[in-house]
Chains A and B, each alone.
Chain A
Amino acid sequence: DTGVSQDPRHKITKRGQNVTFRCDPISEHNRLYWYRQTLGQGPEFLTYFQNEAQLEKSRLLSDRFSAERPKGSFSTLEIQRTEQGDSAMYLCASSHGTPNTGELFFGEGSRLTVL
């Protein structure tokens, strides 16, 4: 399977714990995006990378959130001191260049439940 893969698919944690999600994009894609999706809502942009450079972060990304893409390949999204409001689906997507005319390729998401 050469699509976007995310790990883990599901994570249940207690409030205050740290969690980390991993995303492996399509190998030739230089753009990688993170979105958050809560129940009944559309995906909300969090941040994106071009190669290893993080080019934009949403105001939704509080200082408890950090994302990296150290070698321009896979990316991690870490949430420190989780809160119940962090419960959501975290979606990763990749593209070859700016997705202005082409599509984003999404993974199946990582669902976080904070108890």
Chain B
Amino acid sequence: AQKITQTQPGMFVQEKEAVTLDCTYDTSDQSYGLFWYKQPSSGEMIFLIYQGSYDEQNATEGRYSLNFQKARKSANLVISASQLGDSAMYFCAMNRDDKIIFGKGTRLHILP
């Protein structure tokens, strides 16, 4: 069965530094999608970035990039030049059948 693992429950990063949030996944599917979502304190889940398993290039969206290493089954999120507004929970996710399943998340704190 598909599974998402996020091993960092919390991280503290100085403002303007880059940060990497770890994610590993397990699936027997050949074709799958990987996602990252942000959840600020307001509670709403915000889609950040998508990577397809057959995409040869790592996905990028502004300051977000997904470091996809298929052989290692990892899909780490990299946030460049972190900002105070990046403080939030971050969830790695993947599609399974017709739905999306989520990891337990990493709480990111950006320090001024």
Q: Which chain A residues have a beta carbon within 8 Å of chain B's beta carbons?
A: 31, 33, 40-45, 48, 55-56, 89, 91, 93, 98-109, 111
Q: Are A89 and B104 in contact (CB under 8 A)?
A: no
B33–A103 CB distance below 8 A: no
B35 near A103: Cβ-Cβ < 8 Å: yes
Which residues of B approach A to under 8 Å, CB–CB? 4, 9, 33, 35, 37, 42-47, 50, 52, 91, 93, 95, 97-105
Q: Contacts of A31 on B, CB cut-off 8 Å?
A: 98
Cβ-defined contact, B97 with A56, below 8 A:
yes
Cα distance A91–B39 in the bound complex, in angstroms: 12
**In whole angstroms, how far apart are the Cα atoms of A107 and B46 in the complex?**
9
Distance in angstroms between the alpha carbons of A6 and B57 in the assembled complex = 37
> CB < 8 Å: which of A33, A91, A107 contacts B99?
A33
| Distance from B57 Cβ to chain A, minimum over Cβ atoms (Å) | 15
Q: Is B45 in contact with A43, judged by CB distance below 8 angstroms?
A: yes
Give me 17 other A-B pairs in contact (C-beta within 8 A), A31-B98, A106-B45, A107-B44 excluded: A40-B104, A40-B105, A42-B91, A42-B102, A42-B103, A48-B98, A48-B99, A56-B98, A56-B99, A91-B43, A93-B45, A99-B95, A99-B99, A103-B47, A103-B50, A105-B47, A111-B43
